[in-house]
Amino acid sequence: METILYEGNQIKEAAAVVKNGGLVAFPTETVYGLGANALLPAAVKSVYAAKGRPSDNPLIVHVANFDQVKAYVDNFHPLTEKIVANYWPGPLTLIFSIKKDSLPQEVTGGLSTAAFRMPDQALTLALIEAAGVPLVGPSANTSGKPSPTTADHVYHDLAGKINGILDGGATKIGVESTVLDLSDPTKPPMILRPGAVTQEELEALLDSPVLLDGHLVSATEVPKAPGMKYKHYAPDTEVLMVKPQDWSTALKWVQEKQKRAGVIAGPAVSETMRYDTAAVFMYAKDTVEAASKSLFAGLRALDEPLLALDVILVETFPDEGLGTAYMNRLSKAANGRFFETGEQ
């Protein structure tokens, strides 16, 4: 299969492909999604096949406006209107209980709920509108690997497996959307996956509690939202998280063990490590915003076989605000492992 690169003036062509059952990756403000007609079970199955993704993992339904959601949901949480008015379009996915059989079970993972999002990306909103149907849109990568934040990343993973890629340049945020569970109108909203919309922001807006579900699903449990599996976003090379106070010890360990090490960090760390390690991927600034935007790109860049790295050491940030989302993704990429002062 030839994978076509669609530009912004080719929306109609790309929309025709997805409407009729093909696969076209699209940009969002978070990461690139793999688009397929959410109403065609065969098209959704082909998403799982292209990604190598377990079919029990539910998919997010991408819409161009909130009215599209009403076709599938008739019992909304009382806080829905306020949340949508403030955060759609944007990096916030909402989970609702849906009308029975209103969406294929290939989309819902067999659950009675479904996740919906209106991305803040003009090209993709135009794609959904032109297609005239909602689109599923899991990250457009090989399942379990770092999510794609450029069209080149998508092409690297899925060339020859999908029909096309709508190129919208590099994404702005770089980590997937916050997933907020509103499926039970009688309970407080619960964050199932952290993202750029934080618990603190939502509580301030709603003036009510917002819960945070930090558990990781077991191998036999069906996740209610994507990204809840234990190991995810992981390159083939071993990844270790490094706390600020441990960088000098980590460098000594690398040298003593004669490891080919890569470093992903901001300028403050990268500038001191660049001559003593095999490769460095530097964030633009020493901020969690810059780190979140470039984490997946860094993991991909340093996982190239030509570098032949033994380990990738990655900078950590405080687990608060956007740092909660950053550390969630980094921890899964590292399989929960920190560099410790001693044997690894």
Residue 219 is predicted with a pLDDT of 52
CA-wise closest residue to 317 among 153, 175, 145: 175
Query: Cα(first)–Cα(last) distance of the chain, in Å?
Result: 43
- CATH superfamily placement of domain 238-333: Threonylcarbamoyl-AMP synthase, C-terminal domain (3.40.50.11030)
Residue 137 is predicted with a pLDDT of 96
Query: 117 labelled as ligand-binding?
Result: yes
Query: 274 labelled as ligand-binding?
Result: no
Least-confidence region, from 58-67, 168-177, 218-227:
218-227
Torsion of CA 189, 60, 170, 293, to 10 degrees: 30
Q: Identify the residue with better confidence: 185 or 223.
A: 185
Where do the structural domains in the chain lie, given as residue ranges? 4-212, 238-333
Query: 30 labelled as ligand-binding?
Result: yes
Vertex 52: Cα angle to 126 and 183 (nearest 5): 60
Residue 304 is predicted with a pLDDT of 96
Residue 223 is predicted with a pLDDT of 67
Handedness of CA 303, 27, 294, 336 (dihedral sign): negative
Query: 37 labelled as ligand-binding?
Result: no
Q: What are the structure tokens assigned to 323, written together? A: 């740092």
Query: 183 labelled as ligand-binding?
Result: no
- CATH superfamily placement of domain 4-212: DHBP synthase (3.90.870.10)
pLDDT at 156 over 90: yes
pLDDT at 184 over 70: yes
Are 75 and 182 spatial neighbours (Cβ–Cβ below 8 Å)? no
Residue 215 is predicted with a pLDDT of 58
Q: Per-residue pLDDT tens for 41-63?
A: 999 999 999 999 777 778 999 99
Cis-peptide into 104, omega within 30 deg: no
pLDDT at 153 over 90: yes
Tell me the pTM.
0.94
Please give the mean pLDDT across all residues of the chain: 94
Q: Per-residue pLDDT tens for 89-120?
A: 999 999 999 999 999 999 999 999 999 999 99
pLDDT at 288 over 60: yes
Between CA 299 and CA 153 the distance in angstroms is: 11
Q: Identify the residue with better confidence: 342 or 82.
A: 82
Residue 344 is predicted with a pLDDT of 47
Residue 218 is predicted with a pLDDT of 52
Confidence of residue 340 (pLDDT cuts 50, 70, 90): confident
Least-confidence region, from 7-11, 134-138, 141-145, 226-230:
226-230
Query: 113 labelled as ligand-binding?
Result: yes
Q: Identify the residue with better confidence: 74 or 215.
A: 74
Burial of 10 (0-12, 13-18, 19+ CB in 10 A): middle
Q: Per-residue pLDDT tens for 190-201?
A: 999 999 999 999
DSSP alpha helix (H) spans, the chain: 11-19, 41-51, 66-69, 80-87, 105-108, 122-131, 151-158, 199-206, 247-256, 267-273, 288-302, 322-333
Query: 147 labelled as ligand-binding?
Result: yes
Contact residues for 116 (Cβ-Cβ < 8 A; gap 6+):
60, 61, 62, 63, 69, 72, 93, 94, 95, 96, 134
